[in-house]
Structure 1
Amino acid sequence: MADDGPDSKNQKKSAKHDSGAADLERVTDYAEEKEISSDITGAVATIGERRRKEAQEKMEREIELAKVPIRKDDVELIMTEMEIGRPRAERCLREHHGDVVKALVTLTQ
C-alpha cells in the first residue's frame, strides 16, 4: 500500500517547485546566451570593419608612396652604403619624398 501521508505530499510539492526553478533557470540561461551571442556578433563585425579600414588605408598609403619620384642612382647609393635590398631602399627613399640624406639618416638610426 502506498503511503499518501503528509510527507508524500510535501515531496510532490517540492518536486513541482524544483521543476519550476529548473524551467526558470533554462529560460534565464537561454536569454543570457542570446545576449552573449549578440555581443560577440557585434564585436566580430567591429573587428572586421576595422581590419577592412586598415587594409584600405594601407593600400592608399602604398599608392601614394608609389607616386613619389625617386632617382635610380639614389637607390643604388642607399643599397651600397647601407647594404640593404632594393625594395627596402626604394621604400625608405619614397617615405622621405626622395630625400637621400633623410633616408640615410633614418636607416642609420
Structure 2
Amino acid sequence: MPAISYRGRAHPYLENKIPTLDDADGLGQFVRAGCGRCKTIRFHRPAEIRELIGQNIHILHLQGRFRCDQCGAKEYMTVEFKTLLAREIPGLVVRELVEVQWVKKPLWRDRRL
C-alpha cells in the first residue's frame, strides 16, 4: 500500500503502470475497502465505483474517497484491488450501486433591509 504522505504525484511513466478501475474490472477483481479502526471490510465492483466517481482513476487516488459506514472515519480506510479464488466467491457479500441520490440543500443568508 502507498505511504500516507503520497499525494498522487509521480512520474507519468510510473503513473501509467498503476492499475486503474477499468484494468481491475477487466481482470475480474474487486475493490476491497477496509476500516482499520472498526475492522469493517466491504467489497465493491470496480465498474460501479467508476460510474459513481465518473472517471477512471488508479487505486492510489481511491484511498481518500472512501468513508467508513460504521464509525465515519476517512483516515483509517485502506483500499486495494483484490483477486478472489473461485472457492471464495460463493457467499461473498458485494455492495451494489442501486441509485445515486442528490441532496438538495438550501443555503440562506440574512439581509438587513
Fold conserved between structures, TM > 0.5: no
- With the shorter chain as reference, the TM-score category is under 0.3
TM-score, length of structure 2 as denominator length:
0.22
Looking at secondary structure, tell me which structure has more helix per residue: 1
TM-score, length of structure 1 as denominator length:
0.22
Looking at secondary structure, tell me which structure has more strand per residue: 2
Over alpha carbons, which structure has the higher Rg? 1
